[in-house]
Amino acid sequence: MSDVSLTALTAQVFTGLVLGGILVLLAIGLSLIFGLMTVVNFAHGSFYMLGAYVAFSVLGLTKSFWATLVLAPLVVGSLGFLVERFLIRRLYGRSPDDPLLLTFGLSLAMVEGVKLLWGKIGLTVDPPKQLAAAVDLGFMNFPIYRLFVIAVTAAVLVALWVFLAKTNVGLIIRAGSRDALMVRALGLNLNRVWLLVFGIGIGMAGLAGVLAGPMRGVYAEMGVEIIIDCFVVVVVGGMGSLAGAIVAGLLIGEIVSLTTFFAPRLAEIVVFVVMAVVLLVRPSGLFGEAGLAE
């Protein structure tokens, strides 16, 4: 490539931040659910897709992007509650394959269901007028909406950290992920905690979908595509590790962005190469604890 200036690379790092941000929002939920419940939620991408579709409809009803940004993840999160309460809960204590198969089936059903409800043809969502323009950052023109996505991701992460580290419920969640039996023995109702965690994780996937819609459009296959990248992030970061999900999500975003700059055709493959290398060198992932899934 001819023009590998510092400006060009800075621009590339900035775009990578947004790609990574969306992945982080998804991977955190995936990792949280796995860490606490040992459920590999294959339907996570489908809830991301559902978030984008629900946002389309809520936006149509409320005409307000800001209301949509709050309401759509709540709707999707509530669906998460229902899925945990009536489907996944029945499978606790059985082999980890069972919830995996259940959520895999669920993801297929959701893609078809969305096509029935919203049609087979993709939809478009516009960002709000205030965020539609580009801003000159000195080294490049950057869309304000993408800066907004970075800001929302950061805000959600801070809120989640406060919730997990500073509240009593957060304490129970962290304890439950260490030793569920012990927490039960202390007389705490873990069922409610699991319900909450699943709902939060799914709600965050929904939020990622709401944020992605105005950038990438809304289409039924969007969840199936992104779930692969999310699993890569979770595996690279370490299954169940929240810090791992954040670091690996941003890392994968940056790697994709920089590879796109130097060799666009390799951008699709390079994430798997990274995963393979991490698995070889550190099988439990960058931040993972060995034996978590056993």
Partner 1 sequence: MHRREFLTTATAGATLVVFPAVLRAQSKEPIRIGFPLPLTGTFAAIAADMQKGAQLAMEELNAKGGAMGRKIEVLFRDDELKPAVGAQRTKELIENQKVDFVVGGLAAHVQMAINEQTKAAKKLYISVSQSDEISAKPDTSPLTFHEALNPTITSRAMATYGMQNLGKKWWIVYADYAWGKQNNAVFTAAITKLGGTILGSTPYPLGKPEFSAHLPKIQAAKPDVIYAVTPGADNVPFLKQAISFGLKKDAKIAQPLHFLYYTKEGGAEVFQDIYGATHFCHELAETLPQAKRYVEAFTKQFKMPPDAYSGYGYNGIMEVARGVELAKSTESDAVANALRKNREYDHYKGKQWWRACDNKSFQDLWILKVRSPQQVKGEWGLFDVIGKVVANEELDRTCAEKGFA
Interacting residues with partner 1 (CB under 8 A): 1, 3, 5, 7-8, 11-12, 14-16, 18-19, 115, 120-124, 127, 132-134, 140-143, 145-146, 214-217, 219-221, 225, 256-257, 260-261, 264-265, 267-268
Q: What angle do CA 242, 243, 249 make, to 5 degrees?
A: 90
Virtual CA dihedral for 31, 207, 171, 249, nearest 10 degrees?
40
The smaller minimum CB distance to partner 1, of residues 7 and 64, is found at 7
- The CB-of-236 to partner 1 minimum distance in angstroms stands at 19
Per the DSSP assignment, residues forming a β-bridge with 142 are 135
Least distance in Å: CB of 2 to partner 1?
Answer: 8
Q: Which is nearer to partner 1, 260 or 284 (CB)?
A: 260
CB-based burial label for 97 (10 Å; 0-12, 13-18, 19+): exposed
State which H helix or E strand residue 136 sits in.
strand 134-136
Tell the smallest beta-carbon distance from residue 254 to partner 1 (Å).
10
Structure tokens at 24: 């982080």
Q: Looking up tokens 């939620």, which residue turns up?
A: 41
Helix spans in 119-189 (H): 144-166, 168-178, 180-185
- Using the minimum distance from each CB to partner 1, give the nearer residue, 143 or 203: 143
List the structure tokens of 150. 């970075």
Nearer to partner 1, 214 or 249 (CB): 214
CB of 76 vs partner 1, minimal distance in Å? 21
Identify any residues that bridge with 143 across adjacent strands, giving them in sequence order: 134
Q: What is the DSSP letter of 137?
A: -
When the beta carbons of 166 and 265 are compared against partner 1, the nearer one is: 265
Smallest distance from the beta carbon of 279 to partner 1, in angstroms? 24
Nearer to partner 1, 94 or 129 (CB): 129
Question: At 72, is the secondary structure helix, strand, or coil?
Answer: helix
Dihedral, CA of residue 230, residue 232, residue 238 and residue 241, to nearest 10: -10
Rank residues 75 and 220 by Cβ distance to partner 1 and give the closer one. 220
- Helices 44-62 and 65-86, interaxial angle, to 10°? 140
Q: How many residues does the chain have?
A: 294
CB of 245 to partner 1, least distance (A): 20
